[in-house]
Structure 1
């Protein structure tokens, strides 16, 4: 009968057999078939170093605004008799938008024109009399004043008549029409909006430490989520004369030509101000190996990885500008760095 003691005695023996069997499975069949792992090439990903433009950028967020923007209102109070635009129309400067009831103003201008002609006729008669009668000179001066007063009244009436026709103060895009024919409007009634979107401006903040480097005309790039694959190029058109004492930043205004009409006032724009630009050897940041206060890359030469010290001149959006240690056209390792060391054989994927 099998006893518990005999089972315990066999347990170490069974474990020993299993270990021997496992070693037998993993050992090569013969010495000639033994793999030389030291000669195997490690697969890595590589990048060819090229000279590219290295731009130092300051990124910020700003809101777009139109070059010019107004609410269209009426200077006079009266009823609307005609409307000459639709929602969203593109209009030119001086284009007629709304006509107000203007019969009284037309009559006033006509009456004053008649009065002015009569006053001028009286002036001409007194001018002739003043040449022969000295007493007519005082009457001549009074009549001259009447002519000037009537002339001023006529100009005022013409201005009021002109204001009964509402026109576009500049070229641009109209907003939604807020009135209808027959509506009574005054100087507080909003008729519509008008935006000049031929140029879009954006205001953003720049830290004050960059103030000495700022100048009008600097290149500015901007993007909006509505057009993720499109970059709009503009320039700095204004630098504020004051520093914000709370944020310690200066407000900068950039202008973008908007010939396509894609940019609209109120858009949230991601901007990048280009402080400087130069040609440099650009490598992916992931290829850089920091070690204490130095930086290295693995250079590939004849299928062998060699660690090379490099000097970093700047960083920008995942790329590093290198000004010492590399030359144009060399290959460096970007992926697989933890598997290799200087002198390791490597093969580039793809």
Structure 2
């Protein structure tokens, strides 16, 4: 009743622990009672054997006394045999009486011998049973004192390729990216795009309202045409010597002035027109139709996403390991384990005096537009020659005062025993560590639970749960 009420509010793990503790307590109490009972029985049998031994000794002592009478009886029987041919007189009566006494002594001797043998048999059996029970007691104590098997998880040590790398972090940026804005003030009269649209270079995106600018432009163009006609007529008259060179020069000056005014007017109109400077993808529209905008108001962003660049920083000590054209592997949190391949495009020829770092740029193909500017990226550049190392999870390594150790599993008949090995560790990457010496490929190594082990501990393998073993682990996404 009490256990049921307690189990209603205790968690399952606590109940399991209590149940295991009770079982262990009952097992220990039963073992103590069993050892006490066997010990008592051994003492009783040893006492019986001792008593039988003492009784046998006493019987043997009595047999020594009787044995003297047996010798005398044999002498008498011999004398009687020698005197059988003689007459039996009154002188033989006394020896015959002694002979009868000797026969009685012989019967007593035989009875003592039987008792002695029986006592010896009892003593031998008591000692044998006591030895058997004592051996059973020792085995029981040894079994009770034997170390229980510990549950561990294991994995086979294997060879993996290790490429020396230079790791860094950086930011993605578009190869070409701008925030578009009008150069003049005015009211929005046209919007020719939607948010997220892909556009080509030169596409008109928006237009501010044109007041008198088109009329002024038409007027200037008309004046320019008249000035051109006047220049042509005066040039013909100059050939016939009916006008002067000054008139022709004035006509040329007027025409050039009008052409300049036309260019200025067209520029004013262009300031009220927003066009795409290059092909790319637009962002979110920030203006509305009919809205008054001042000069420089942000309208929309335009980004060229393929290819895309990543800028990252490296310490000046590692500058000697990098060359333009080396392969770079880029990963971002938003795409998990997906890796994007690119090449180093440029290395800044200057070290930042504040941080002593160098900016390096890599360019990545981005056909599906999976990467966008501003993303935080991890960059890995392969340097050096590929190496081969025995690889284990970092959790399999135990640090001790005399070095790093691992536990390997050895099969000894029906038992599996943990054996400790001293190893030399090398570089680390993610959840992995390279073993330089002390461990052979194919060894079964304990990866979890080694804190419960020492040399020779019996183990039971349960690989239902394994530690992390990723070369390039990703941060959990919240």
- TM-score (normalised: structure 2): 0.56
> Matches of 2:30 and 2:446 in 1, distance apart?
43
Contact 1:56–1:316 (CA under 8 A) maintained in structure 2? no
- 1:243 paired with 2:255, answer no
| Residue 271 (structure 1) aligned with residue 384 (structure 2) | no
> CA offset at residue 271 of structure 1?
1.0
* Residue of structure 2 in register with 1:23 after alignment: 35
1:146 maps onto 2:254 in alignment: yes
Q: Does 1:321 align with 2:401?
A: no
Return closer, same or farther for 1:247/1:86 CA change in 2, 3 Å cut-off. Answer: same
* Contact in 2 for aligned 1:77/1:187 (Cα 8 Å): yes
Give the aligned partner of residue 154 of structure 2: 45
CA 181–138 in structure 1, closer or farther in 2 if over 3 Å, else same: same
Secondary structure, aligned partner of 1:71: strand
- Classify 1:106/1:281 alpha carbon distance in 2 versus 1 (closer, same or farther; 3 Å): same
Residue 445 of structure 2 corresponds to which residue in structure 1? 333
Q: Is the 8 A contact 2:329 2:339 kept in 1?
A: no
State the TM-score, normalizing by the size of structure 1.
0.73
**Preserved contact between residue 155 and residue 446 of structure 2 (Cα < 8 Å):** yes
Matched, 1:221 2:330: yes
**1:261–1:20: structure 2 CA closer, same or farther, 3 Å change rule?**
closer
Find the structure with the greater CA-based Rg.
2
Tell me which residue corresponds to 1:83.
191
TM-aligned CA deviation for residue 283 of structure 1: 0.6
CA change 1:241–1:334 in 2 (3 A) is farther
Pairs within 5 Å for 1:134-173:
136-173=244-281
Evaluate the alpha carbon distance shift between residue 25 and residue 190 of structure 1 in structure 2; reply closer, same or farther with a 3 A threshold: farther
Partner-residue secondary structure (3-state), 2:214:
helix
Taking the aligned partners of 2:350 and 2:402, their CA distance within structure 1 comes to 39
Once the two structures are TM-superposed, the CA of residue 30 in structure 1 deviates from its matched residue by 8.2
Tell me: CA distance 1:244–1:28, structure 2 relative to 1, closer, same or farther (3 Å).
farther
Deviation (angstroms), 1:289: 5.9
C-alpha separation in 1, matches of 2:322 and 2:135: 70
Equivalent position SS for 1:259: coil
Cα contact 1:297–1:332 (8 A) shared by 2: no
**C-alpha separation in 2, matches of 1:42 and 1:112:** 95
Matched, 1:260 2:368: yes
Residues 130, 170 of structure 1: CA spacing in aligned structure 2 closer, same or farther, 3 A cutoff?
same
User: Closer, same or farther in 2 for the Cα pair 1:57/1:232, shift >3 Å?
Assistant: same
Cα 1:347–1:190 change in 2 (3 A) is closer
- C-alpha contact (below 8 Å) 2:191/2:206 kept by paired residues: yes
Write the distance in 2 (CA, Å) between the matches of 1:282 and 1:265.
39
Give me the whole-angstrom Cα distance separating, in 2, the residues matched to 1:348 and 1:72.
65
* Higher relative strand content: 1
Query: For 1:25 and 1:120, how far apart are their aligned partners in 2?
Result: 135
> Given that residues 397 and 404 in structure 2 are in contact (C-alpha distance below 8 angstroms), is that contact kept between their aligned partners in structure 1?
yes
Q: Which has the higher helix share?
A: 2
Tell whether the 8 Å contact from 1:76 to 1:187 is kept in structure 2 after alignment.
yes
